[in-house]
């Protein structure tokens, strides 16, 4: 079984945290992770193209351990769409959107051209999910419906606050067949087990979101949950490999 971390952030963030490839590999080795999906952090001075190039270069030098995604700011309009096309043409395996850090609502119409461009290219969209007002489950589900045949991957189980109606809302988002969720930050083991029971093991992906979260701790979320061996293999790597494999260009 190849264990794949569904999300690590690389670079130096405008918001004060950082992680380079060498440090990522050290952490991955400590928990037995062989590969990871890598996305850029929010870049200083908003230079997303340079941040995308930095992650792409790290992936090229990684010996196949890193699968790069490009990150864009939908507020940039046509330039964001052009950057998606350029980055995917040059090897990006998907598009990453962070509504909270870039300050947009995921279901705002300014985001739709980016999402549709990704679908046209046959490449999945990953969204930093669960942020109040910017990326809540019902908003995420609405955005996923723009391109129902293209894969949407939601970080943080689709909702940080899995309590009360928040868990119900996250399940409504998962009612869209193209929506998948990460295990990251999901403190309720029963929610993760419920995703597998209600929607199938193909819809859940292990991820650490390092350095925002701790690789060792996030790995335990999968190891301690009650999954079968076959389910665990899909969650720890099989699903990520299937979704972020070679993309059409």
* Distances, alpha carbon 87 to alpha carbons 6, 55, 138, in Å: 19, 11, 29
Q: Encode pLDDT of 171-196 as tens digits.
A: 899 999 999 999 998 888 899 999 99
Residue 89's Cβ-count burial label (10 Å; 0-12, 13-18, 19+) is exposed
Q: What is the pLDDT of residue 164?
A: 60
Residue 249 clears pLDDT 50, i.e. is over it:
no
Domains along the sequence of the chain with CATH: 4-243 (3.20.20.140)
Q: Encode pLDDT of 24-71 as tens digits.
A: 999 999 999 999 999 999 999 889 999 999 999 999 999 999 999 999
Q: What is the CA radius of gyration of the chain?
A: 16
**What is the model's pTM?**
0.96
Q: What is the pLDDT of residue 188?
A: 84
Residue 175 CA to chain centroid, in angstroms? 18
Mean pLDDT of the chain: 94
Residues in the chain: 249
SS3 160: coil
Tell me the C-alpha distance between 197 and 201, whole Å.
Answer: 8
233 DSSP assignment: H
Tell me the C-alpha distance between 172 and 165, whole Å.
Answer: 10
Residue 106 clears pLDDT 80, i.e. is over it:
yes
Q: Encode pLDDT of 145-173 as tens digits.
A: 999 999 999 999 998 766 666 667 888 99
């Amino acid at each position: 079984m190849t264990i794949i971390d569904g999300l690590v952030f690389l670079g130096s963030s405008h918001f004060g945290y950082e992680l380079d490839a060498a440090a990522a590999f050290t952490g991955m080795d400590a928990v037995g992770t062989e590969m990871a999906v890598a996305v850029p952090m929010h870049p200083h001075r908003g230079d997303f193209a340079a941040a995308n190039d930095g992650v792409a270069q790290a992936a090229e030098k990684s010996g196949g351990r890193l699968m790069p995604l490009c990150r864009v700011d939908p507020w940039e309009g046509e330039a964001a769409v052009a950057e998606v096309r350029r980055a995917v043409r040059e090897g990006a395996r998907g598009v990453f959107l962070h509504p909270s850090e870039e300050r947009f609502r995921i279901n705002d119409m300014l985001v739709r051209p980016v999402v549709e461009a990704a679908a046209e290219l046959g490449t999945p969209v990953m969204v930093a999910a669960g942020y109040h007002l910017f990326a809540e489950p019902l908003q995420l589900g609405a955005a996923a419906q723009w391109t129902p045949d293209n894969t949407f991957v939601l970080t943080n189980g689709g909702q940080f606050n899995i309590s009360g109606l928040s868990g119900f809302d996250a399940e409504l988002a998962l009612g869209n067949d193209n929506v998948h969720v990460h295990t990251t930050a999901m403190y309720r083991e029963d929610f993760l087990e419920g995703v597998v029971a209600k929607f199938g093991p193909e819809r859940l992906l292990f991820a650490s979101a390092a350095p925002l979260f701790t690789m060792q701790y996030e790995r335990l979320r999968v190891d301690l949950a009650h999954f079968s061996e076959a389910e665990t293999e899909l969650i720890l790597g099989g699903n990520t490999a299937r979704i972020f494999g070679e993309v059409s260009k």
